[in-house]
Structure formats: C-alpha cells, structure tokens
Amino acid sequence: MKKGLKITLTIAGILLAIVVIALLGLNWFIAGSKPQIEGQMGLSSIEQEVIVIRDEQGVPHIEAESDADLYRAQGFVQAQDRLFQMDLARRQASGQLSEVVGSAALSTDQFFLTFSLRDAAEKSYEGYSDEAKQVLAWYAEGVNDFIAHAKEEGKLSYEFSLLGYEPKEWTPVDSLTIGKYMAYDLGGNWSTLAIRHWALQNLEEDKARELFITYPEGDPAILEANKETYVQVGANFPLEVMPHPFNGSNNWVVSGDKTATGEPLLADDPHLGLSTPSIWYQMHLQSPEQNVSGVIFAGIPGIILGHNEDVAWGVTNVGPDVQDLYIEIPNPENPYQFSYDGEWEDAEVRSYEIAVKDEESVPYEVVVTRHGPVISDILYDETNPEAVFSMQWTALEPTQELQAILEMNKSSNWEQFESALEQFHAPAQNFVFAAKDGTIAYKANGRLPLRKQGDGQLPVPGDSSDYGWDGYVPYDELPTSVNPDEGFIATANNQVVDDSYPYHITDFWAQSYRYERIAEVLEASDELTVQDMMDLQMDQENLQARRFLEQLLTGLSTTEAGSTYTELLSKMESWNLVDDKESPFPLVFNKWMKKLPNVLFEEQVPEDIYDMMPGKANITDQLLQLYADGETSVWVEEFGGFEAWVEASFVEMMAEMEEKHGEDWSEWQWGEEHLLTFDHPLAGASPLLARFLNPTPVPIGGSGITVQAAAFNEQGEVTHGASWRFVADLSDLSSAYHIVGPGQSGHVKSKWFHNQVDDWANGTFHETRLDGEYGESYELRLVPEKIAN
C-alpha cells in the first residue's frame, strides 16, 4: 500500500515537474520577443541617431534630426509594440486572413475583397503627392527594419508562432489600406438601405414607414423601384465584420470666456471597439519640423488626433449617407453585363485566388459596375437573380487623408488647419479645434454626395443615368462654426444642422442624449477646468431614462406585471437616473430598453434580417415618442397596444435577469451585467488563451447612451466605448491628458499590456509631455547600422 502510494506520488511529482518546465519554457519563449526599450540598436534605414524614450505609461517619445528618420523610427517603434496587430489589420482589410487563419476566415476575406478596400488604397496612393509618398516609404522602411531584426534574432512575437507564419514586408499601400478600413468602420449605411428595401418588399407600407426615421415620400419613383424590383437580402456573411451600430464619439471645445484660465479647453473620446491591444497607439513625434503628440492607428504614420505646441483637435463621426445602393439589372445571357440607358454595359471583373491555410486556394470574383462593386453575393447566395445591388461609396474613390494628417500635425492656427482638412475626405468627421490664440472652431469635414435624385434613404435604379452622384457639397459650404457666441462647440454624433441647411447629410443621426448632457454641463459654468472635462467624460447621467422612464412605469402600472413588481417600480420612480454600477435600476432600465424592439419585431422580421437591422434604438425612441405625443404606432397597436408592449418586454427581461442574478432584484447591481472587457483577437480560440490574453473583467457604470459611453452586448460585456480619452488645456500645451485602454503594448509580457484597464474604468488620466520632462523613463538609442557595427 505504502509502496503504491509512493509510486503514485513519484509519478505525480514527475508530471508536475514536466508541467512546470513546460510553463517555464513557454514563459521564456514568449518573454524572448519582448521589445528592446533600452540601450542601443543599429538600424539600416536611419541616417542619424534617433532617441526613443518610453515614459512610465509606455508612450514612446521619438526625437529625430529629420522627418525622414522620425517616420522611419515611428514605423520601427510601432512594429516593436504592435506588429501582429498591424499584420492582422492589413490582412483583414485586404481579404487575406484565410492564408494564416484557415477556411474559417474565408467569408470574411470574400466580404472585404468585395468591399474593395485594398483596391481603393492602391488607387489613392497614385494620387498622393511625392512628399506624402516619401513619408509612407520612410515609415515602411522602419517597419521592415524591425521585421528583419526580429526574424534574424528569432524575436517575432509569439502570435506568429502560434499561427505558424512570418509577416511579409510592409508597403505604403498596407498603411493606406488600414486607413480605408477605418473609413469602412465609421462610414457605413449600406445595410440600412438593404433592410429598407426588404421592408418595402415584405411589409405593409405603414409598417415599413415606421422603420424609417423619415419616410421618403418625395421620391415616388424610387419607392416604386424598391417595391417592384426584387433584390434578395439576407445575412449570408459574417456579422462580426459589420461596423458596430454604436460607432459614435464625444468631443467638445470651450472658449476662454468659459474657463478658469481664460484659455480654451478641448476634450475628445472616440468610441470604437474595446480590444487588446487598443485600436489606438499613443506617440509623441519630434523633429526640427514638428512637435506633435496624440494617437494614430497602428500601421499608419503621423498623428491623427492630438495636439502640437500651438493647436489641439479631436473628432466624432458625422455618420453621413455616403454609401448608396443601386438596383442593377444583369443581362440574362451574360452575368457580367448590366443594363444602362437601354444598353448592356460591360462590368469590370476582378479575379482573385484566396490562399487558404492547409487547403487549396479558392477562386473568387468581384464584379464592379459603373457605380461600384456588386455586393449581393455577400448578402445572399442566389443563382441568376432578377436584380442585384451595387454600392457607390466615397471611400472607394482616390482620397488623400494622410496628406491632411501630415499638414494638420504642423499647423499653428485655424487657417492652416482648415486648409489641411480640405484633403480629409473619408470617413466624414466632426472636427473640433482650439488654438493658443484663443480660437475655437468646428467643421463637419469630408465628401458628402450630391445626388441627381433622392436623398440616399433607399436603393435607386442603376439602369438609368437619371440617378447617381453629381459631385459633392462644396468644401466652403460644409457645416462650420468659428468662435460661436455660446462659448462652446460640442458634438456627439447628433444632428449638426437644422432644416435651413441646403444639403442632405443623413436622417439617421445618433440619439441626442449624450450631446444634451454635454451641453447641459458646459452651459452651467463659466469657470470650467481640466478636471471638469475629465469628469464630464465619465458622466453617467441617463437622459434617455429622464425622457422615458415615467412613461414606461405608467404604462406598466396597470398591468399584471406592475402588480407583481410594485416595490421595484416604486423604487425606480425615485432613482437618480445615474447608471451607477452598484445600483439595480440601470440594469432594469437598460435591459428593458434593449428588449423593447426585440419583442416587437421578432415575430415578423427574420432573424438574419433583424441581426443586420441598424438603428433599433432610434426606432424604439421614435415609437416611444409617438405615444408620449398622444399618437399611435401600427407595430405597437398590432402587438396589443402600448401597455401590452411595455409589459411583455419587461416580463421577458425580468425573467432573464432573475434566472441569471437571482429573484431578489434589490441585490442586483448594474456592474454584474455590465463588465468591461478588452478581448484579444486570439482569445476566442480557447478558454486558456482567453485567460492568458484578456484582462479580468471589471464592473463599470455608464451605458450606451451616457457620456461615459459603454455599450454592452447580450452577454453583458462592454465591448464598445471610449477607445481613447483626451483633454488639452490651451493655456499650457507642453502636455495633455490621456487614457488608452487597455494599455500601450501589444505584448503580453509587457507591463504596459493591460495597465490602463482600471484607469479606463475609474477615469484616471495620465499626463503626456512634449518638453522632455518624462519622469520615470526608458531610453533606446537607434543608430545607423554602420555606426553600431
């Protein structure tokens, strides 16, 4: 007996030792690819010594003797921290993920090949100035310098080993392709048009009407074309590639008349997906020609948002209608020809061989009409269709956003900055601006199409020259404001023009709650401070509850559910309307609001259509407002009336929450259902990788409609919000204040991998300086290779 026990213990000890050795080996292997951040490195690309100082938050401050070496070093340093992210981004946008991931990514590759981002980047490159092309080349040299070093020294990050491949050389078009991807992520309304076409085909007109924000009664011919010409619509593509419906942001700028220092304040927090690593990379770039600090997308040179020694700027998404669908009629005898003004017109055919890891390549065709790529193949698999959709989109045209960024970085006043913006076309953005001379300004910038007919709310006939685009809104007629009497300018993806504006932008503005709360706070004080700006970015007051909670409670009060939950409803009447993570009331309200459209539409809208359907929150608001104004809704009345709708949604929501959190609602907390996560792209492969690569979820407050934006999914995970928070005080632009969650580094062994998760949750900003006073820091000297040797 003792002998058997001894043998068992011996075997267990051996197994444990093997596991420990394996873990130590794995740890050694992963740690071996950590970026070198101190000492000296020789680079073949640079001409003079470059100093890279990483401060206590891991933000690199690059000091170079020329712009050439500055951009080379920027490429090198970004690749040190984020090469795997950069490589995945260019692959996804280019339709080349299957080559390293396998057939699971095939539909994603087909989607992005159809959307033609890389093709658009290649065409854009040809239109860039020699100066901008040179910057792209310098940046690519720096990235490739790092790739060469990492391959030679066996220090490519562990993700490449996990997937079993090495990155190819970086090219200027790779950077521009990533830029086009951001235009895709921020500029999409094509799915709205497809869903509206489906609604007109499948629903009674009065029901379809309520799925529009503004029904296009002034376009009878377009309405009839959508009713009479059938185009199949469905979700035959990976829904995860759809832009998040909450792609919004907050920004504002306050004049010196309303601040404690008498100088402007500027704040910006762009709302994008929250992931590991962050979509943003924070940097400080300094040469004799510029001194600029802020953030940029990994894979692109320059600084897109931030400040220099004279000016600061930030953006939100305008969200204009810049993607139009055309109902194209194919030739029954030739699928590559389409009807146009009574004749068959040849389409362009782009043929691809999609490389698939461990499998045969897959041929794929993209058919492009005069309007743009045919996208119906990714909406539904149909043989010999009667009609298909093609898409025209501003971002598929040659555009030169990088040119604008490079000039913005060196601007010193509004005139120079606005001149630079003239080259920023896609995505259309609300820029706010402040200068040391006291100027505050705003411009809704980007290409806004002028249409021959219609206003972009529905697909239009593709077989007639009566439809299409006829240029863009003139640059000097884009919405602009300089030094307004109100003393501040704020945007939160809300409607930025009134009915007097002569051009169409969109009818699908974001809900106005964030803007209303920002304006409310800024109007209330003439002594605003940096801390006030930070506090406002973390504000959790729920103005949607302020508008609709009483109406919802009243509607519920006469129902059976109202009698069952009397105490809860009574307590909610006195709720302070703050989405506090420790309160049960935000959980009840926000989950209830999510449930309202589900129960209303789920019986009559197929699941694949519903999953694609944008603007559910806007439609819900619109229906609630109808009843608040004493009107009715066809959808709601058919459901059984307002009280029945409100009760059914509430009962279904409460049943789900009781099953998940227990029957005692007084013990519930919003944070239990609202957990901040920064998921790594490889984490979905296994629970072990998720535990290794993802931070511990953090309970947080706020919601999708508070200024502290924190949109959540059905699993209660906060996956979308302020990807970067930024506050600049124009009385002292030697520094500014930032949060980049979850951290600067993309390397799991770096101390800057997840170090800003709690900062994000708590609103703890870090100061980043321009003047060399970096505090605790790490210095790396990049020298020409011939000197190093």
Q: Which of 611, 639, 668 is the last residue of a domain?
A: 668
Report which DSSP code applies to 374.
B
| Structural domain for 345, as ranges | 188-243+322-396
Instruction: Divide the 789 residues of the chain into consecutive groups of 10 and give the mean pLDDT of each group.
Output: 45 42 55 92 97 98 98 98 97 97 94 96 97 98 97 92 95 98 86 92 93 84 92 70 70 98 98 95 98 98 98 96 96 96 98 97 97 86 84 96 98 98 96 98 97 94 97 98 98 94 92 96 98 98 98 95 95 98 98 96 89 87 95 96 97 97 97 96 88 95 96 92 97 98 96 97 98 93 84
Domain count, the chain: 4
**Does 697 map to a domain?**
no
763: left (phi over 0), alpha (psi -120 to 50) or beta: left
Write the burial class of residue 623 (CB in 10 Å: 0-12 exposed, 13-18 middle, 19+ buried). Answer: buried
Q: Which of 185, 205, 226 is the last residue of a domain?
A: 185
Rounded Cα gap, residues 319 and 577, in angstroms: 28
Nearest to 447 by CA among 408, 478, 412, 480: 478
Q: Which of 353, 381, 396 is the last residue of a domain?
A: 396
pLDDT at position 611: 86
How many residues are present in the chain? 789
pTM above 0.85, yes or no: yes
CB 93 within 8 A of CB 158: no
β-pair partners for 710: 721
What is the three-class DSSP state of 625?
A: helix
Q: Are residues 71 and 162 in the same domain?
A: yes
Look at the block and give the residue holding tokens 């068992």: 8
Residue 721 amino acid letter: G
CB 374 within 8 A of CB 388: yes
Q: Are residues 220 and 347 in the same domain?
A: yes
Write the burial class of residue 507 (CB in 10 Å: 0-12 exposed, 13-18 middle, 19+ buried). Answer: middle
Nearest to 346 by CA among 325, 331, 361: 331
CB 120 within 8 A of CB 376: no
Rounded Cα gap, residues 717 and 621, in angstroms: 23
- The distance of Cα 228 from the centroid of its chain, to the nearest Å, equals 36
Transcribe 501-513 into DSSP letters. -SS---S-PPPSH
Q: Are residues 150 and 89 in the same domain?
A: yes
Cis peptide before 427 (omega within 30 of 0): yes
| pLDDT digits 0-9 by tens, 83-111 | 999 999 999 999 999 999 999 999 999 99
Distances (CA, A) of 139 to 10, 70, 81, 211, 689: 57, 9, 15, 46, 32
- The distance of Cα 369 from the centroid of its chain, to the nearest Å, equals 29
**Does 145 map to a domain?**
yes
Write the burial class of residue 221 (CB in 10 Å: 0-12 exposed, 13-18 middle, 19+ buried). Answer: middle
Q: Are residues 226 and 86 in the same domain?
A: no
**Does 680 map to a domain?**
no
Cis peptide before 220 (omega within 30 of 0): no
Q: Are residues 377 and 230 in the same domain?
A: yes
Q: For the chain, what is the total number of helices (H) and then of strands (E)?
A: 27, 31
pLDDT at position 16: 42
CATH number at residue 154: 1.10.439.10
Burial 18-42 (b: 16+ CB within 10 A, else e): eeeeeeeeeeeebeebbbebeeebb
**Does 456 map to a domain?**
no
CB 35 within 8 A of CB 83: no
Report which DSSP code applies to 373.
B
CA dihedral 159, 164, 168, 170 (to 10 degrees): -10
CB 338 within 8 A of CB 373: no
Q: Are residues 200 and 173 in the same domain?
A: no
Q: Are residues 552 and 638 in the same domain?
A: yes
End-to-end CA distance of the chain: 67
Element (H, E) at 49: none
* Phi, psi of 707, deg, nearest 5: -60, -45
* Phi, psi of 152, deg, nearest 5: -65, -40
Residue 189 amino acid letter: N
**Does 759 map to a domain?**
no
* Phi, psi of 321, deg, nearest 5: -80, 95
Look at the block and give the residue holding tokens 């930025």: 496
Report which DSSP code applies to 35.
P
**Does 649 map to a domain?**
yes
Count CB-CB contacts under 10 A for residue 219.
17
β-pair partners for 257: none
pLDDT at position 686: 85
**Does 785 map to a domain?**
no
pLDDT at position 240: 64
Q: Are residues 9 and 154 in the same domain?
A: no
**Does 786 map to a domain?**
no
553: Cβ–Cβ under 8 A, 6 or more apart, which residues?
Answer: 569, 572, 573
| Long-range contacts at 238-244 (CB < 8 A, ≥ 24 apart) | 238/107, 238/108, 238/111, 239/611, 239/612, 240/108, 241/108, 241/111, 241/112, 242/188, 242/191, 242/612, 243/184, 243/185, 243/186, 243/188, 244/185, 244/272, 244/273, 244/711, 244/719, 244/720
Element (H, E) at 443: strand 440-445
Residue 229 amino acid letter: T
Rounded Cα gap, residues 65 and 50, in angstroms: 7
Transcribe 287-347 into DSSP letters. ETTEEEEEEEETT--S-SEEE-SSEEEEEEE-----EEEEEE-EETTEEEEEEETTEEEEP
Q: Are residues 158 and 221 in the same domain?
A: no
Q: Are residues 159 and 193 in the same domain?
A: no
Nearest to 271 by CA among 51, 429, 127, 89: 429
Q: Are residues 156 and 231 in the same domain?
A: no
| Whole-number CA gyration radius for the chain | 27
Cis peptide before 742 (omega within 30 of 0): yes
pLDDT at position 186: 83
CATH number at residue 373: 2.30.120.10
568: Cβ–Cβ under 8 A, 6 or more apart, which residues?
Answer: 588, 665
Q: Are residues 161 and 209 in the same domain?
A: no
Rounded Cα gap, residues 751 and 755, in angstroms: 7
